[in-house]
Structure 1
């Protein structure tokens, strides 16, 4: 069964943050935790989501993040995937 775009992107975000130290307290820390920083890109089918784009949908109220799953869930929900 084919994964949906949302699940696919979510999985890629979690994978990208596999080596990150949590909690992540700011957008700057989040970008620093990603392998290619703001240029880190997740792709699924026709959908492409750059970390810099994802950073624009996050607000100070979203932080701190306690896990990669929490980051991924917040980004895919706010990005409207």
Structure 2
């Protein structure tokens, strides 16, 4: 599995129990198991939810699924 696929899968997993739609960055962080400290790792790549959240814009919201969140974050991170 590629780094991109692994991180994508971890983001989806972290949001598996989240209630959608998620309308704000604060709600997105609150939906993560460890909030801003939730960490996804693959090989030498490590990204926290707080770091990933900096890649989002107000226009990205609302999110309607964990897959949508993961798609946007791995794309913006250039993975």
TM category, shorter: over 0.9
Residue 80 of structure 1: how far off its partner (Å):
0.8
Using the alignment, how far apart are the partners of 2:55 and 2:15 within structure 1? 18
Gaps of 5+ in 2: none
Q: 4+ residue runs of structure 1 moved beyond 4 angstroms?
A: none
Which of 52, 60, 64 is equivalent to 2:50? 52
TM-score by length of 2: 0.99
How many residues are treated as equivalent by the alignment? 79
Query: What per-residue deviation string (whole Å, max 9, x for no partner) do you get for residues 10-35 of structure 1?
Result: 00000000000000001000000000
Gaps of 5+ in 1: none
Using the alignment, how far apart are the partners of 2:18 and 2:77 within structure 1? 22
Aligned with 2:46: secondary structure? Answer: strand
Residue 39 of structure 1: how far off its partner (Å):
0.1
